[in-house]
Copies of this chain bind each other. A is one copy, B any other.
């Protein structure tokens, strides 16, 4: 990728605008290993389909991508099992975090979409398909390394372990799904993979690079690798637009106007179809669990670059 002045200026402008806000929000405290992160960090990276890139702040610092991993496991699961996936998970927004488990009950164990925890557990179960958990964890890591074009992407085992010890809500969801026969592998295996995928550590630069195939109809624009079909890339973007930020998905569409996915580690990946991908990171979260400064930065970036799809 080559750096370019205009893009660099835009990114620098956004980063400068954020300086006054960095540190706002509340670091996720329910995963002990995340609760210790210094909230006064901010990174931003943009990669474009035509090979330009720009970055600002702590764009090289790896952070826990957490729920952003759901975009990548969804991509893989669609490649492996195709549209049959949609028998086991829906693609509607969940309304609110509050409703997720009651909707799961009402809807007989079929999660609303693959970007909420329940849906992502089903996606992970689809990927396991009899594999040893450790093997799948290696495959996921390899997939992200390939997408980021960077072999240094790896899992933060401390975070993975921390989640395994405290992830009672996810354990509850997984058992619930299993009670509805919507998990086929042992609950412990699904949770092991899930906690590891959430603990993947990536920098903004790596993450923006990794998202490019979604902006380019399923093909990595920099090395020509086909990751998924054009239709699936579009549809993954559609799901990110509708469901990427739990009960603040509508607000993200309203403010940013791009498909995106946030994680409680403070990262957000946003896709500008036909243009490029942006990754932002700042650990303080808003009440909906999305990076406070990260969302503000993407709103600004989308306006400056005129990237809104609307």
| A235 within 8 Å of B (CB atoms) | yes
Copy total for this chain: 4
**B175 A168 Cβ-Cβ under 8 A:** yes
Complex contacts, A95 vs chain B, CB 8 Å: 92-96, 99, 103, 112
A248–B91 CA distance with the chains assembled, in angstroms:
9
Nearest B residue (CB) for A288 = B92
A56 on the B face (CB < 8 A)? no
Asked whether B242 lies within 8 Å of A249 as measured between CB atoms, the reply is yes
A131 to B93, CA, bound (A): 37
Stretch from A132-140, A199-207, A250-258 contacting the other chain = A250-258
Identify the interface centre among A103, A238, A308: most chain B CB within 10 Å of its CB. A238
Task: Contact check, B239 vs A254: say whether CB atoms are below 8 A apart.
Answer: yes
**In chain A between 82 and 96, which residues have their CB closer than 8 angstroms to a CB of chain B?**
90-96
Q: Mark A98-132, 1 if CB is under 8 A from B, else 0.
A: 11011101100000110000000000000000000
Say whether A273 faces chain B, with CB atoms less than 8 Å apart.
Answer: yes
Q: Which of A172-202 contact B (CB under 8 A)?
A: 172-176, 178-179, 187
Q: A171 an interface residue at 8 Å Cβ cutoff?
A: yes
Which residues of the other chain, B, contact A273 by a CB distance below 8 angstroms? Answer: 309-310
User: By the criterion of a CB under 8 Å from any partner CB, how many residues of chain A are at the interface?
Assistant: 49
List A residues at the B interface (Cβ < 8 Å): 90-96, 98-99, 101-103, 105-106, 112-113, 168-169, 171-176, 178-179, 187, 233-235, 237-239, 241-243, 247-251, 253-254, 257, 259, 273, 308-310
List 12 additional A-B contacts (Cβ < 8 Å) besides A169-B176, A273-B309.
A90-B250, A91-B251, A92-B96, A95-B99, A101-B105, A171-B171, A172-B176, A234-B308, A238-B250, A238-B254, A259-B310, A273-B310
Contacts A/B (CB < 8 Å), 21 sampled: A92-B250, A95-B112, A99-B99, A99-B102, A99-B103, A113-B250, A168-B175, A168-B179, A171-B175, A171-B187, A172-B176, A233-B310, A234-B308, A235-B254, A238-B250, A238-B253, A241-B242, A241-B310, A242-B242, A242-B250, A242-B253
